Amino acid sequence: MCGIVGYVGFRDATDLLIEGLRRLEYRGYDSAGIAIHQGDRIECRKRAGRVQELEKLLESDPISGSVGIGHTRWATHGETTDVNSHPHVGGNGEVVIVHNGVIENYSTLRTKLQALGFVFRSQTDTEVVAHLLAHHVEEQLKLSDDAEGTEIYVRALEITISKLKGTYGIVAMFRDLPDVIIAARAGSPLVVGVGKGEYYVASDASPLVGYTDEVIYLQDHEMVVLTTTSIDLRHRDSGQLSPNIHTLDQVSTDTDLGDFEHYMLKEIFEQPQTIANAMRGRFNEDEATAVFGGLNLDPQQLRRIDRIVLTACGTSWHAGLVGEYLLEEFARVPTEVEYASELRYRNPPLEDNTMVFAITQSGETADTLAALRECKRKGHPTLAICNVVGSTIAREADGGIYLHAGPEVGVASTKAFTSQVTVLTLLALFFGRMRHLSYPAGKRMISRLKEMPEIIERTLKCNEVVEEISSRYSQFNNFLYLGRLYNFPVALEGALKLKEISYIHAEGYPAAEMKHGPIALVDEVTPSVFVIPRGGIYPKVMSNLEEVKARKGPVIAIACEGDTKVADLVDDVIFVPDVEDYLQPLVTSIPLQLLSYYIAVNRGCNVDRPRNLAKSVTVE
């Protein structure tokens, strides 16, 4: 979950590394640091807190050079202190590394290194790697007097990582190898940027935008040696490799804030466009169905699928739950949603004709990747619904569907959620037309889906009302979110958003389950947010709402435009356009995103960088 950036070339590395860390800060913001080669030594500067704290340190204690590495941390081992910040020094300064991942056997290695005389200054697992690498550099120097210099250090790193258990993305610099950085990955993403007389390495492509449009995505167990004039890529098992260079199509304006105060608000307002992007080119009007170019399965294989498993974490899991309802209603395919963190350790009975979809914004979520790999190992078709081109899950899945939502910088996912739901709706149409869904029903779905970008534009007009309502609820410390059928996952997602960025305890439930226990929580200081648009079970949800009102619980309702019955009963109402049941999650989720945003702002929370969280969860 940490962010790594490295550079070797002719530019001043300090400014480049700082800019890269700013772009990577969504991956972790507990601390930040950089290391720059200074000829006969490597100088480090690091500081607990946001990247801006590191910038202040560099103003008073600057360093410069053309080779360097940087890191922004999400803490796993050790508190958020200056000394636990990366980069970490090995030996007596001959090695400096940055690391993303978790070293599971660090305690055993630490004990062995201490017995050899190494002194530890931090509580991190990364310092173990730094000292272990320094130890093997020393060994290789003694054994390899005639070897070419760089190969000594490559061999030392190979031996080091062979002794690590866990996951890592490592970038290393060496005091006596002034124009070289070496990177290696196993389970934690790394991408190399290819320039002219310069190379970059980073946890993802965002720091490279504007500097190069040619990238190489490292695979597990690959290592790359970068100098100003060369790139040497090799695999642990197969040796030397020819780099597979991809074109990066992202532009720097994709991550500009524009006129918005926070990325989260910007991304909420981008949803009309991102939903349109998710649908673009994916309708076949003549056949009244959806089309996907990347499933990589022929129609006969797809028709044999008799069970679908959707696996994901967090917000993506909530999107998957909407997908379960969609696929079972329109395609009549038994579907279940599994937490990836649980699926990877279970041994569920999956029949041969089971298809597994991994749903992920980043394409790097460690648990989702592990679940996908486990299902793939057992021979099941594995597909991905993903937003990041070139990500590990996108590359390892048998096929998949890109969201085309653009970079999502805010830690709390918004536009990715609605894009995932849109794609899952298209999948339900696709499988439905392949099985039981009639031609007129397919045409109707396409027509309704095409209307959604304009409907989401209308929905966003509730912004001012939500902002005003949120001011009255910002000081409450417990919320209940309630919905039924398609709006139950929306209730879960609304509660998660509030927890993530406002630090308010919130729970999502099916509305009818209230009377089976949670209604005991209802009182005058526990607001309930009811998602109650018109639909087949509207009277049932209304009954649940009245049960809460009878116990003096404050109620905020998300209701269809013109619903005076709800408006007369509740304390506050947010109106949304009336759409068919299966499209309601795209509409009803919008005011819940805005509600969490404005409550967080009113409470003085850091909306885009909530405490203890990171955007891309690349550790278990």
Structure tokens at 395: 């590359």
Phi, psi of 170 (to 5 degrees): -120, 135
Coil vs helix vs strand at 178:
strand
Structure tokens at 468: 């005003």
Q: Are 444 and 267 in contact (CB under 8 A)?
A: no
44 a catalytic residue: no
Instruction: Residue 50: name the closest of 74, 83, 14, 76 by CA.
Output: 74
Structure tokens at 425: 């709706």
Phi, psi of 20 (to 5 degrees): -65, -40
Output the CA–CA distances (angstroms, integers) from residue 509 to 105, 261, 479, 488, 609, in the order listed. 40, 32, 11, 7, 27
3-state secondary structure 489-507: HHHHHHHHHHHHHHCCEEE
Q: Which amino acid is at 567?
A: A
The structure tokens 């509730």 sit at 462
Rounded distance between C-alpha atoms, residue 8 and residue 179, angstroms: 7
Instruction: Residue 501: name the closest of 247, 309, 166, 262 by CA.
Output: 262
* Catalytic hit among 2, 386, 462, 560: 2
For residue 309, the cross-strand partners are: 336, 356
Rounded distance between C-alpha atoms, residue 260 and residue 188, angstroms: 32
For residue 234, the cross-strand partners are: 223, 240
Q: Are 112 and 148 in contact (CB under 8 A)?
A: no
Q: Are 301 and 381 in contact (CB under 8 A)?
A: yes
The structure tokens 């396409």 sit at 446
* Catalytic hit among 46, 415, 499, 615: 615
Rounded distance between C-alpha atoms, residue 225 and residue 494, angstroms: 46
Structure tokens at 144: 């390899």
Rounded distance between C-alpha atoms, residue 410 and residue 26, angstroms: 7
2 a catalytic residue: yes
Instruction: Write down the H helix ranges in 66-218.
Output: 106-115, 126-143, 149-162
Instruction: Residue 519: name the closest of 491, 490, 552, 488 by CA.
Output: 552
Instruction: Provide the annotated active-site residues.
Output: 2, 615
